[in-house]
Amino acid sequence: MTQPVAIVTGASRGIGAFVADALQGAGYAVERGSRSTAPVTDRAAVEGWVADVVARHGRIDLLVNNAGVIDSEVPLQESDPDEWWATVEVNVLGPYLLTRTVLPHMLSAGNGRVINLNSGAGVRPGAVASAYNVSKTALARITGSTHLAGKGRGVFAFDLAPGVVRTDMTQSMLAHRGRTEWTDPGDVTALVLALASGDLDAWSGRMVRAGSDSAESLMARQQGAGGVGEHDRTIGLVPWGADDPLA
């Protein structure tokens, strides 16, 4: 069998490095992205990198959009507009460009999975670091659109919230100062491998969370009597009741 190929962005350190190592250990040929490989916000660099990967391997089975940054932990009115927008560019434009470039190859092959490293911040507004929350909500919409683009065509997309893994970024954040409990990186990589395997394709277009979910718990849910509901683990409008005209 031809060796499966994975692209992992932001793979030089932190969660990206953990994920890339785990995929390599599972038998994937892993292409590790970094600022020096291909800045995720540079369209030409992204397209050139992906073309090179396809030329060398002939396929892309998995894309893990992990590269991301956070803005300063200040209220919106105190934020720096340039930093705010740069955060959105890395966290939204980056995954969009990678997905847009990789997706045609997956659709042509009739097989592929995209895993976007999201966050619980994506399902709520933020009192501080608002660009990060905005970007992660937007990322979930990219995931949903990728899911719809691949529906019935063998391509699936997932949001994976990694919890709070001890990394350079999380240790520098005021929100985590003094934290003593961290998500085990092994919980993150186990979910990545499970999602990549195809066993959890029922969760395509949805969010799963390391440390709360496991491959076993998600499998049990999708195989249970209720299965996976239409709106389970998706972001949408919560109506005030059945008489809400927006319901």
- Over the range 139-157, which residues count as b (16 or more CB within 10 Å of their CB) and which as e? bbebbbebbebbeeeebbb
Q: Report the distance separating Cα 185 and Cα 7, nearest Å.
A: 19
The verdict on residue 228 lying in a domain is no
Q: What is the pLDDT of residue 177?
A: 75
- Quick one: the chain helix, strand, coil %, rounded to 5? 45, 10, 40
The verdict on residue 102 lying in a domain is yes
Angle between helices 185-197 and 215-223 (to 10 degrees): 40
The verdict on residue 229 lying in a domain is no
Which residues are the active-site residues? 132, 136
The verdict on residue 141 lying in a domain is yes
The verdict on residue 159 lying in a domain is yes
Question: Above 90 in pLDDT, residue 178?
Answer: no
CATH number of 191's domain: 3.40.50.720
Q: What is the pLDDT of residue 163?
A: 80
- The rounded mean pLDDT for the chain is 94
**60-73 pLDDT, tens per residue?**
999 999 999 999 99
Domain extent for 39: 5-223
The verdict on residue 97 lying in a domain is yes
User: Burial, 34: exposed, middle or buried (Cβ in 10 Å; 0-12, 13-18, 19+)?
Assistant: middle
Instruction: Please indicate whether residue 55 or residue 184 has the higher confidence score (pLDDT).
Output: 55
67 neighbors 36 (Cβ within 8 angstroms): no
Q: Report the distance separating Cα 247 and Cα 239, nearest Å.
A: 5
Q: Which two tokens stand for residue 201?
A: 């394709």
Q: How many domains does the chain have?
A: 1
The verdict on residue 241 lying in a domain is no
> How many other β-carbons are positioned within 10 Å of the β-carbon of residue 86?
16
